[in-house]
Structure 1
Amino acid sequence: MDQQKIMDEIEYYKAQAITELLYTSGKITFDEYDKLTDLNRKTFSPLYADLLPKPLEKSSNQS
């Protein structure tokens, strides 16, 4: 794996952690969380994005 792919992975997980923190603290709605998660995946292209759970499946119990 090259250096850029590693950096993209790290940046994706950072962005997603911030997105989840914003959602769980009530700063953003579920729809905003869903959109940000999709944007994070498109922006940083994590290696296993296809294997990651969709936000709806992961967070639907919290709504």
Structure 2
Amino acid sequence: MSRDQEANEVKYKAAVKLLEIMLSKGLITLAEYRKIDELNRQTFTPELAEVYVK
């Protein structure tokens, strides 16, 4: 895995954590969470995306 890809993995995981916090506080719905997560996976293209999908 290249450094760029490693950086994308970290950025994606940080984005997921923020989404989880927003979801738990009721700031976004589960549908919004899923839609944003899909956009994040397209943006960051994490190699481990299959592992992250809930």
The interval holding the TM-score normalised by the smaller chain is 0.7 to 0.9
Higher Cα radius of gyration? 1
Higher RCO (C-alpha 8 Å, min separation 6): 2
Percent same amino acid among aligned pairs?
35
Which residue is 2:3 aligned to? 3
TM-score calculated relative to the size of structure 2: 0.86
Runs of 4+ in 1 over 2 A off after TM superposition: 50-54
Structure 2: runs of 5+ lacking an equivalent: none
Mind listing any 5+ residue stretches in structure 1 that lack a counterpart?
55-63
Deviation of the 1:3 alpha carbon: 1.1
The alignment yields a C-alpha RMSD, in angstroms, of 1.2
Residues paired across the two proteins, number = 54
